Each structure stands twice: as C-alpha cells, then as structure tokens.
Amino acid sequence: MSRIPMLMQVGLLACCIAAIPVLAQTVGPDQRPPPSGFSAQPQGRAGRFIQRFRAANTTGDGHLTLAQAEAAHMPMIARNFAAIDEQHKGYVTLQDIRAWRQQMRAQRGIGAADSSGGAADSGGSGNADSGGNGNADSE
C-alpha cells in the first residue's frame, strides 16, 4: 500500500520538473507584439523607420523620448520633437509621428491621396511616408 503513494509522488515530481522550462519563459522586448495598427514585419522605407523606432525605444513601451531619439541618431524626430509631442507627454509614439507627418504633408500640399506607399517627400527632407497605412516616415 505504501508503494502507490510513492509512485504518485514520483509522478508528480516528474511533472513539476517537466514544467519548469515552460514556466521560466518570459516575454522580452523583442518578443512583444507590435502596437495595434502595425504589422509584425514592416516593409519598405516606412518599415525600416518602424524598426529604427523600435530599436531606439530601449524601454520597449512604444514611447520614444527625446533622449532616445537623439541617442539613436534620429535627427528629424529630435529636431521636431516638441511639434510632434503636441500633448507635452515627454515622449512620442509611432501614431504621433504619423499624425505629424500627415500634417506636414498637408501643409506642403502633398495630398493624402498619395498611395504610392513610400514615395519620396518632395519637401527635400529625404523622408518618405507610407501613404497613411499606419506606418511613419523614414529618416
């Protein structure tokens, strides 16, 4: 009779040991899902910008600070940080940058109907807009 409880204990111990690797897994900054409205594998110039944004955002929270933009050599974002951060939060998001880019394009008379998905910015800044699909410009 003492044999059955011992077998149950050994089985339970084996199950616990087998579960340790599963329980030890954590979600790192590179494994977090992309912000809503953005594809997991961004493409083109806008995709490269998103990848640079994610790399610069060392906290992985989707909030890019001025110091992070400067450290990542993102001069267009750093120079225009105050204008992009209209709500004075101390950080900008991809959505903030996209809204600012659309505003700048509208002021220059570059139509929102531009669906080229990465056409060069005619304002001479060397940036591109993705045509309003949720991606931001490239520096």
Per-residue pLDDT tens digits for 1-16: 556 677 777 777 776 6
Domain ranges of the chain: 34-139
User: Hey, which CATH number is domain 34-139, 3.40.630, 2.60.40, 1.10.238, 1.10.390?
Assistant: 1.10.238
Most confident of 34-38, 47-51, 96-100, 123-127: 96-100
pTM here is 0.52
Residues 108, 122: Cα–Cα separation, whole Å: 9
Residues 109, 103: Cα–Cα separation, whole Å: 10
